């Protein structure tokens, strides 16, 4: 009988577990990518020829879709092990889960808006 390989649990696995692994889990984890795309486009757009702008948006859309697909494949394979692991720990409590989700939202929504606001005023 073949022994199942035990997976190593990481930070993103808990984040996936904390948002209940519904259809929203992968998008929630991809929040930092939104800021990277927006900020990189604001830096790149003034430098390129206006006729290439639509190609840049198409390339970003394809890249974001591919990244979403790859992350879904990654978590689909690990989902059972993630749930099995965290259901036995103290981190399954709602306070841990909501606290972590709140921290993630603060780090990737509120804090960047504050920094951008300070830079614009600056």
Pick the closest to residue 79 from 30, 19, 27, 34 (CA basis): 19
pTM above 0.75, yes or no: no
Dihedral of alpha carbons 5, 79, 30, 101, sign: negative
More confident residue, 42 or 76: 76
Q: Which of the four pLDDT bands, split at 50, 70 and 90, describes residue 76?
A: confident
pLDDT at 48: 66
Pick 2 or 18 by higher pLDDT.
Answer: 18
- From residue 53, alpha-carbon distances to 46, 47, 50, 66, 110 in Å are 10, 10, 5, 20, 29
For residue 109, report the phi and psi dihedrals to the nearest 5 degrees.
-125, -60
Q: How far apart are CA 109 and CA 116, in angstroms?
A: 11
pLDDT (tens digit, 9 = 90+) per residue, 85-108?
999 889 888 898 888 888 988 988
What is the pLDDT, as a whole number, of residue 11?
A: 85
- For residue 75, what pLDDT is reported? 86
Q: What percent of the chain has pLDDT over 70?
A: 80
């Amino acid at each position: 009988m073949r022994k199942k390989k035990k997976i190593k649990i990481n930070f993103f696995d808990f984040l996936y577990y904390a948002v209940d692994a519904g259809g929203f889990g992968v998008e929630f984890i991809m929040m930092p990518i939104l800021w990277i795309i927006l900020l990189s486009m604001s830096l790149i757009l003034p430098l390129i020829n206006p006729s290439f702008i639509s190609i840049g948006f198409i390339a970003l859309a394809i890249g974001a879709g591919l990244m979403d697909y790859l992350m879904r494949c990654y978590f689909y394979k690990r989902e059972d092990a993630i749930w099995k692991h965290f259901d036995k720990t103290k981190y399954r409590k709602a306070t841990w889960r909501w606290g972590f989700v709140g921290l993630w939202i603060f780090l990737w929504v509120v804090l960047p808006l504050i920094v951008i606001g300070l830079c614009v005023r600056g």
